[in-house]
């Protein structure tokens, strides 16, 4: 990959912090995911990845121009035919926990990744072409809902980007949710709720965070949470998580700073439970510095 469009760490941080103050409608989800990826791959240029995403958009646009008017099911198949069929994007079922699966640069290079990372590719293409595609608050496995004009049964489709854009029925979704929440779980309206671009990006980063914590790499986990705070500074819970990671890493002064910031933020937002948790953490930590 070329080097002309590399960005410095300071530039990446500045742009990610700008995302943190942007409205949801102003967030470019794929560009932000590339900036987050660049935190771990500063040696690579963003330009080639932007060019590839533009190529995907052009290929889908050409396919749509050739097709007659599509309902949601047909449009989902068209998108899947280009993104997964022509360009080979697929879920990495063999090495699912490979951290590269949550780095959009690596996903583009390898043409495989986690459901949420692949979903970001789909969402980017749809946004550029004016399609009504949204991520859903489905637990355990990221899925998308595609809508077209009209109110018929084929004017909405639930799509699985991990499996080539497979169309999912209610029975499929019920089976999936029971694999996560147990055999008595039921589909609720919450599972069909749309999630914001910011929440999708946080879900992407949370995959990296969980893997770092499981491997006891608390310095890595701290870096990831810091990036999450840059793009979502109003999430008091992230500051609490940062404090916990600082404790694990033996950085008690930094932990106190994080819990104090968490407490102030939670009070400002009226999040009483998180404020109480931060206050308790501060009571327990401060004597340990004396």
pLDDT digits (tens, 9 = 90+) for 228-260: 999 999 999 999 999 999 999 889 999 999 999
Decide if pLDDT at 66 tops 50: yes
Sign, Cα dihedral of 3, 9, 108, 23: negative
State the pairing for strand pair 156-160/90-91. unpaired
Mean pLDDT of the chain: 93
Burial class (CB in 10 A: 0-12, 13-18, 19+), 103: buried
CB atoms within 10 A of CB 169: 9
Q: Are 231 and 19 spatial neighbours (Cβ–Cβ below 8 Å)?
A: yes
Spatial CA neighbour of 259 closest among 240, 246, 241, 283:
240
Decide if pLDDT at 290 tops 80: no
Domain parsing of the chain, residue ranges: 9-192, 234-289
Which whole number is the average pLDDT over 111-123? 98
Residues 6+ apart with CB under 8 A from 24: 196, 197, 198
- Whole-model pTM: value is 0.93
């Amino acid at each position: 990959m070329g080097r002309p469009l590399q960005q410095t760490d300071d530039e990446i941080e500045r742009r990610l912090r700008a995302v943190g103050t942007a409205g949801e409608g102003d967030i470019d989800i794929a560009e932000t995911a590339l900036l987050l990826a660049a935190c771990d791959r500063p040696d690579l240029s963003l330009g080639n990845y932007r060019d590839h995403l533009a190529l995907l958009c052009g290929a889908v646009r050409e396919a749509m121009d050739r097709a007659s008017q599509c309902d949601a099911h047909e449009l989902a198949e068209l998108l899947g035919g280009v993104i997964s069929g022509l360009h080979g994007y697929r879920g990495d079922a063999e090495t699912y926990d490979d951290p590269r699966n949550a780095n959009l640069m690596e996903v583009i290079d390898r043409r495989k990744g986690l459901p949420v990372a692949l979903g970001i590719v789909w969402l980017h293409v749809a946004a550029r072409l004016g399609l009504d595609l949204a991520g859903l608050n489905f637990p355990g496995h990221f899925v998308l809902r595609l809508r077209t004009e009209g109110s018929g049964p084929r004017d909405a489709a639930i799509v699985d980007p991990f499996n080539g854009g497979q169309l999912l029925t209610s029975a499929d979704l019920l089976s999936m949710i029971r694999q996560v929440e147990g055999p008595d779980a039921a589909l609720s309206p919450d599972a069909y709720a749309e999630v914001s671009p910011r929440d999708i990006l946080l879900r992407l980063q949370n995959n990296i965070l969980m893997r770092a914590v499981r491997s006891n790499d608390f310095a890595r986990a701290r870096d990831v949470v810091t990036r999450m705070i840059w793009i979502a500074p109003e999430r008091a819970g992230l500051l609490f998580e940062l404090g916990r990671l600082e404790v694990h890493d033996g950085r008690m002064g930094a932990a106190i700073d994080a819990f104090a910031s968490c407490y102030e933020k939670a009070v400002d937002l009226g999040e009483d439970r998180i404020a109480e948790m931060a206050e308790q953490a501060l009571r327990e930590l401060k004597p340990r510095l004396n």
